Structure 1
Amino acid sequence: MNLYRFGKMVCGAFLKSMYRIKVRGVENIPQTGGILLCSNHINNFDPPLVGVAASRDVHFMAKAELFDMPILKTLLPTINAFPVKRGMSDKQALRNGLNLLKEGKVLGLFPEGTRSKTGELGQGLAGAGFFALKSEAAVVPCAIKGEYKRGKTVTIIFGKPIDFSEMREQKASARDATNLIMLNIEKLLKESS
């Protein structure tokens, strides 16, 4: 068993011991090809929850500062995380993300760039739109809803892939592409109400 699968098993056991986890729409994740998996961000446990709930291995961008911490700098790469410098255009992180998508892997992103303090969906950053337009990856919206409080229900919903063919043909802006992704995440959040 590789470290990612072992980590997924351990994280799953921990999350299920703390919260009532409900997963919907996992059948919307294509089983082959590159996937850009975009979710809202309400808690530090969102990345492991997405990783546990998804039917395929997910690679995440993580803020570069985490890779300076003694234990995390060794652990994060084993669970498919790679660094991104926030607040600037990190060309290496963008290249890494595009390469993963071209290799047919799953790239998990939180387009808001940081956790929402209120639980409300914030504005997405252009990076998600960049990946959606510059790759041929399927773009799967994801919504996380609920309270990360012991015994409470946390629901994760995977939506149907968003059709980006027209936007790619029209050479739409990364901002417009991100707005479409956020709109789809918002719809999933409302549907789950």
Structure 2
Amino acid sequence: MSLYPFARSVVAGILKPTYRIKVEGLENFPRDGGVFLCTNHISNYDPPVVGITAPRKVFFMAKAELFKVPILKDLLMNFGTFPVNRGGSDREALRTGLKILKEGNVLGFFPEGTRSKDGELGKGLPGAGFFALRSNAAVVPCAIIGPYKPFKTLRVVYGKPINMDEYREKKITTEEMSGIIMGEIGKLLKK
């Protein structure tokens, strides 16, 4: 039996009242099929916050170093998180991500690759464009609008899926696609 539903309710019971989480745009989130969910990254709390606000289970990739801690590794694996070696092309992580999307699940992704030190939106890495262009998943931008301060409102905004047909037809590069995704996240941050 999966720990996910239980852990999700426990984490929601802690984070939602602490950060007064307000969720917007849930009507934009596809109810079925593969979803490539791309969001900005401002805190270590971002994955659990996305996990408790998204209407479906979200699978994340996380830096491989976290999987070297025995208890943490077991927890991460139980929650559907898989390792990625940062700093290069991790073919196994790419295959795992595509498989998750092909099976009709939700892959949560932080295109910046690391947390923003100043809260500003950084440049997206090509991995975001890779998953968007190589899968048939809906590409959903998401913005986490802070701060993460107790009893201050934290907003999670889900945008409309990006129309991928035109970009696939134009055969744009993964870098260009990542830039488009970051642009959509940026628009949500400015709302």
Summarize the alignment of residues 146-157 of structure 1 with structure 2, pairs less than 5 Å apart: 146-157=146-157
User: Could you say which residue in structure 2 is the equivalent of 1:69?
Assistant: 69
| Residues 1:127 and 2:141 are matched in the alignment | no
Where does structure 1 differ by over 3 angstroms across 4 or more consecutive aligned residues? none
State the 1:70 CA deviation.
Answer: 1.9
Summarize the alignment of residues 25-104 of structure 1 with structure 2, pairs less than 5 Å apart: 25-104=25-104
- Report the RMSD for the aligned CA atoms in angstroms: 0.9
| Residues 1:3 and 2:6 are matched in the alignment | no
Q: Distance in 1 between matches of 2:135 and 2:165?
A: 11
Of 43-52 and 167-176, more deviation after overlay is shown by 167-176
For residues 33-78 of structure 1, what are the alpha-carbon distances to aligned partners after superposition, in whole Å with 9 as ceiling and x for unaligned? 1000000000000000001000000000000000001211111011
Summarize the alignment of residues 10-29 of structure 1 with structure 2, pairs less than 5 Å apart: 10-29=10-29
Summarize the alignment of residues 103-118 of structure 1 with structure 2, pairs less than 5 Å apart: 103-118=103-118
Q: Distance in 2 between matches of 1:24 and 1:110?
A: 19
Q: Distance in 2 between matches of 1:56 and 1:16?
A: 17
Q: Distance in 1 between matches of 2:63 and 2:14?
A: 23
- The one-letter code of the counterpart of 1:8 is R
The runs of 5 or more residues in structure 1 that have no matched partner are: none
Q: Distance in 2 between matches of 1:26 and 1:75?
A: 27
3-state SS of 1:73 partner: helix
For residues 137-172 of structure 1, what are the alpha-carbon distances to aligned partners after superposition, in whole Å with 9 as ceiling and x for unaligned? 000000000111111111000000001111112221
Q: Distance in 2 between matches of 1:159 and 1:119?
A: 19
User: Could you say which residue in structure 2 is the equivalent of 1:179?
Assistant: 179
- The one-letter code of the counterpart of 1:162 is I
TM-score by length of 2: 0.98
For residues 112-160 of structure 1, what are the alpha-carbon distances to aligned partners after superposition, in whole Å with 9 as ceiling and x for unaligned? 0000010000000000000000000000000000111111111000000
| Residues 1:137 and 2:137 are matched in the alignment | yes
Q: Distance in 2 between matches of 1:80 and 1:11?
A: 16
For residues 67-112 of structure 1, what are the alpha-carbon distances to aligned partners after superposition, in whole Å with 9 as ceiling and x for unaligned? 0012111110111100000001000000000011110000000000
Identical positions, percent:
60
Task: Tell me the matched-pair count.
Answer: 191
